[in-house]
């Protein structure tokens, strides 16, 4: 018998800006992601304030899900998906974020996508904002630093909640909100890059702006959750955290304390607010470190209290180590940094692979919050090769996923209430950190390459049939 619940939500995850394409079709406006060029593991992508000629912007066509959704969803159904995580592209609905009325053609597109999912019994799991902030809001308000964005976000939520109330039950308010605690989170997440042109490594580090932006996002999320609870009691509202498990590099108490401080700021600060409805006691020490207190207006504290999420979802790819020694050898990966772990191997992009870290993280998170958990991103970004016979033998991906599912099982056996698993990039898509196509995660290969060429044809990788079997046996058969 399976250790996973009978109604376990197996599926896959995507984000609109990384796979829809059709960036300016049917009234859609530009989002921050649409202003990002491509890059690679070694060459950082750039943000530009205007669209530069003769420059590749990978989100503009991406894998063109916009015109391929029927075939793609049929492939997800063939794998047996119970759920499909996707995001709504804010600028398809409100092109600048500031319109009074939503764009009907944008709304219609997601009606079509949801209908197609539901036809196969696939439950949509929708991220409301996944690195798709309207660029006009960056230019006018410095992104989420502007308090005005709370109302614009609420207009957007009201429009999509009402329109899709009979089609969507599971919602995530912000993707990886806690990346806003890190310098690079200013680009895709908080959008606090008004007037900035340059590469991702040159983004100015302005923690005060990011902390204010995060406060505004917490209030926006809480208001959306409360509004949903009041008006659509069938909705399940979740938060979404980039969970970057870290360990103390050594058992030196200084390393332990440094790691605790890091874990609080990186992993717990945002979810403590989302789940408990209040700032944690250590928030003040974080604010002090940056010599800043976010402006908290009348009513904000009550709003946070009234908008606690129903479940906690997170991405998990890797772990790292934290040292009190500034000379410790740095690791790579995500946007987190940290030190190298001598016990772990890394992916081609330097992300340290650590399935046991997922087990550890699930226990830690559940011990802390005691609400249902969902792993909504996990996977291996790798170079895939089409063999002469046309197959793609991605055994490395199968190994990675198998080991992570085995660790999830152990956590469930220890009592964690895990309700779903949606591996990242179930179909190949554009990388968020580098803008590449070469960094592939999918069960489905897409013929699209880094120079912008490719037929966009889809083919199943070896992992496609493997994952189909995993789902069919509710995670029992992982061979």
Residue ranges that bind ligand BGP, judged by CB under 6 A:
15, 18, 175-176, 242, 315, 377, 381, 424, 431-434, 439
Tell me whether residue 59 or residue 259 sits nearer to ligand BGP (CB atom): 59
Marked catalytic residue, from 61, 176, 407, 436: 176
Marked catalytic residue, from 61, 145, 209, 377: 377
Tell me whether residue 215 or residue 439 sits nearer to ligand BGP (CB atom): 439
Q: What is the DSSP letter of 28?
A: P
Q: How far is the CB of 332 from ligand BGP (least distance, A)?
A: 12
Can you name the residues that pair with 47 across neighbouring β-strands?
36, 198
Tell me whether residue 103 or residue 190 sits nearer to ligand BGP (CB atom): 190
Tell me whether residue 79 or residue 172 sits nearer to ligand BGP (CB atom): 172
Tell me whether residue 61 or residue 377 sits nearer to ligand BGP (CB atom): 377
- Torsion over CA: 382, 387, 392, 394 (sign): negative
Tell me whether residue 422 or residue 434 sits nearer to ligand BGP (CB atom): 434
Q: How far is the CB of 87 from ligand BGP (least distance, A)?
A: 9
Q: How far is the CB of 182 from ligand BGP (least distance, A)?
A: 11
Can you name the residues that pair with 418 across neighbouring β-strands?
373
Coil, strand or helix: which one is 284?
A: helix
| Cβ-contact 188, 217 below 8 angstroms | no
Q: How far is the CB of 435 from ligand BGP (least distance, A)?
A: 9
- Helix ranges, 80-206 (H): 90-93, 104-119, 135-141, 149-164, 185-188
Q: How far is the CB of 387 from ligand BGP (least distance, A)?
A: 24
Q: HSE, CB side, 13 Å, CA atoms: give it for residue 412.
A: 20
Tell me whether residue 184 or residue 258 sits nearer to ligand BGP (CB atom): 184
Q: Which of 67, 64, 73, 88 is nearest to 12 (CA)?
A: 73
Q: How far is CA 428 from CA 18, 321, 396, 403, in A?
A: 9, 29, 16, 21
How far apart are alpha carbons 131 and 16 in whole angstroms? 9
Long-range contacts of 339-346 (CB under 8 A, 24+ apart): 339/249, 341/247, 341/249, 344/319, 346/318
- Catalytic residue at 176? yes
Q: How far is the CB of 433 from ligand BGP (least distance, A)?
A: 3
How far apart are alpha carbons 450 and 184 in whole angstroms? 23
Q: How far is the CB of 331 from ligand BGP (least distance, A)?
A: 15
For tokens 């103390």, what's the residue? 248
- Catalytic residue at 387? no
Q: Give the residue numbers marked as catalytic.
A: 176, 377
């Amino acid at each position: 018998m399976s250790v996973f619940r009978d109604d376990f939500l197996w599926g896959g995850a995507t984000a609109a800006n990384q796979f829809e394409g059709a960036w300016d079709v049917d009234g859609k406006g530009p989002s921050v992601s649409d202003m990002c060029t491509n890059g690679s593991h070694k060459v950082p992508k750039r943000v530009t304030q205007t669209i530069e000629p003769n420059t590749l912007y990978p989100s503009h066509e991406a894998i063109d899900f916009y015109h391929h959704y029927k075939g793609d969803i049929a492939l997800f159904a063939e794998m047996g998906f119970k759920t499909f995580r996707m995001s709504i592209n804010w600028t398809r609905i409100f092109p600048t974020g500031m319109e009074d009325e939503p764009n009907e053609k944008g709304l219609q597109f997601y009606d079509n996508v949801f209908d197609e999912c539901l036809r196969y019994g696939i439950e949509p799991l929708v991220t409301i904002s996944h690195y798709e902030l309207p660029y006009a809001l960056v230019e006018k308000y410095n992104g989420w630093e502007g308090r005005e964005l709370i109302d614009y976000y609420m207009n957007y939520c009201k429009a999509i909640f009402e329109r899709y109330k009979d089609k969507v039950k599971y919602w995530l308010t912000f993707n990886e909100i806690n990346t806003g605690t890190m310098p690079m989170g200013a680009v895709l997440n908080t959008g606090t890059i008004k007037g900035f042109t340059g590469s991702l490594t040159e983004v100015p580090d302005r923690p005060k702006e990011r902390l204010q932006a995060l406060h505004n996002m917490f209030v926006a999320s809480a208001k959306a959750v409360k509004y949903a609870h009041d008006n659509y009691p069938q909705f399940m509202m979740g938060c979404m955290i980039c969970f970057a498990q870290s360990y103390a590099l050594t058992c030196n108490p200084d390393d332990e304390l440094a790691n605790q401080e890091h874990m609080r700021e990186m992993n717990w600060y945002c979810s403590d607010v989302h789940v408990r409805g209040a700032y944690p006691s250590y928030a003040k020490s974080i604010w002090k470190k940056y010599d800043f207190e976010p402006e908290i207006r009348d009513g904000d504290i009550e709003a946070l209290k009234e908008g606690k999420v129903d479940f906690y979802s997170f991405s998990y790819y890797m772990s790292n180590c934290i040292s009190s020694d500034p000379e410790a050898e740095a690791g790579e990966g995500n946007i987190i940094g940290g030190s190298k772990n001598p016990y772990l191997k890394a992916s081609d992009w330097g992300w340290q692979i650590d399935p046991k870290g997922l087990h550890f993280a699930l226990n830690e998170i559940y011990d802390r919050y005691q609400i249902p958990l969902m792993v909504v991103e996990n996977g291996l970004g790798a170079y895939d090769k089409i063999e002469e016979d046309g197959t793609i033998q991605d055994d490395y991906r199968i190994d990675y996923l198998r080991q992570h599912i085995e660790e999830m099982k152990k956590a469930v056996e220890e009592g964690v209430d895990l309700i779903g698993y949606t591996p990242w990039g179930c179909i190949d898509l554009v990388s968020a950190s580098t803008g590449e196509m070469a960094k592939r995660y999918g069960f489905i290969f897409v013929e699209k390459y880094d120079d912008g060429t490719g037929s966009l044809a889809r083919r199943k990788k070896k992992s496609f049939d493997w994952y189909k079997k995993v789902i069919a046996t509710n995670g029992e058969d992982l061979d």
